[in-house]
Amino acid sequence: MQYFSRCILVISILFSLNLFSQPDSLYFNKKSKSKIDLGWNTKKEAGLYLNQVSFTNWNAGGTNSITAILSGNASAKYKQENLFWNSFLTLRYGLNKQQDKPLFKTEDVIEVISNVGLEKSPESNWFYSARFSFNTQFANGYSNPDDNDPISKFMAPGYVFVGVGMEYGRHINRFSLYASPFTLKTTFVLNDALANRGAFGVDPAIYDLEGNVIREGKKTRQELGALFTGQFEDEIFENIKFNSRLRLYTDYLNSFGNVDLDWEFNLDMKVNKYVQATLGSHLRYDNDIKAEVEKNEMTNEEVVIEGPKLQWKQLLGVGVIVDLDSVISLSSSDP
């Protein structure tokens, strides 16, 4: 598994560095300081993506379904001559309804990222950086719509990363790299049932021979390791924007060399000022998340816990995007 993780690490880095690159620039175009807007720069957006399929007397068969994803994004960026502070908030929640099936969650994200950077020297593109990130979810998650036993909940899991390191990209357009040799990762599982099962890598409960709990499962797990992130964003064609974010983490104390992967990239295709189509992909591998194989009800077999697996989520949707800053500005200008 370590060999697989290292292969993923190498491929991901090469892909992040070379994707859509051009030999003459590699997108490493320095910005002059005169073009950098100093002070605060904020942005807020809200969007609704819909996908609907309906069948009437369709001889090939099919199931009526509708999917809706509500999203919100906000950013606050502060710049001075040798200092910057960038913060981002991402909220997404999606539901799917199929014919004769209960509502089923398809998207659930709460994420906060904040990083502060101090320029190493006026001539350098490197700067000292400290980074904080937090992510969890809004609602319960289930393996399938008919389940009653949740496999995840709000703050179960929740993840916090805090670290210091160096970042490259202060004066480089559209591209940045961050490396931290000391990053503390804390995993929260603030639910008794999931903590007792040892979900998401926390220590499980200890039981006696009669099944009574001797010691409750731990609700937190802490790791100290190295973190590498890469971010790329650019309008690769007119009205087509590409953004990619890669995060690689390895723990010094447990399974050093086994790399956790989180890689998300999206194509945002703008139709007009309000309508946008999005194609996205999200790859994730976490050595602490074990796969469960459901027991066979016919044979009453026990649940089997397998090793971690590569997770993949794909999104294709068309929706309405509203720039909240523009709406607020128009509202405030009305007499």
**Measured distance CA(145)–CA(122) in Å, rounded:** 56
Pick from 2-11, 31-40, 131-140 the range whose average pLDDT is largest: 131-140
Higher pLDDT, 110 or 82: 110
| Domains defined along the chain, listed by start | 2-20+38-333 (2.40.230)
Q: What is the mean pLDDT of residues 109-130?
A: 89
**Measured distance CA(228)–CA(17) in Å, rounded:** 13
Q: What is the mean pLDDT of residues 216-245?
A: 94
Q: Would the pLDDT of 126 be above 50?
A: yes
Higher pLDDT, 279 or 172: 279
pLDDT value for 303: 53
pLDDT value for 11: 45
CA distances, 158 to each of 12, 161, 191, 267 (Å): 25, 10, 11, 27
Q: Whole-model pTM?
A: 0.81
Q: Would the pLDDT of 79 be above 60?
A: yes
**Measured distance CA(108)–CA(136) in Å, rounded:** 8
Q: What is the mean pLDDT of residues 23-41?
A: 52
Higher pLDDT, 303 or 216: 216
Decide: 54 and 64 in contact? Cβ < 8 Å: yes
Q: Which residues contact 208 (CB under 8 A, 6 or more apart)?
A: 214
Higher pLDDT, 131 or 169: 131
CA distances, 155 to each of 91, 188, 194, 261 (Å): 15, 6, 11, 20
pLDDT value for 334: 59
**Measured distance CA(147)–CA(303) in Å, rounded:** 15
Q: Would the pLDDT of 16 be above 50?
A: no
pLDDT bucket at 285, cuts 50 / 70 / 90: very high
pLDDT value for 81: 79
E strands, the chain, are: 39-53, 65-79, 83-98, 104-119, 126-136, 158-168, 175-188, 206-207, 213-215, 220-237, 240-251, 260-270, 275-285, 291-293, 304-306, 311-323
- The pLDDT tens digits of the residues spanning 142-170 come to 988 778 889 999 999 999 999 999 999 86
pLDDT value for 139: 96
Task: Kindly report whether the peptide bond that precedes residue 308 is cis, defined as omega within 30 degrees of 0.
Answer: no
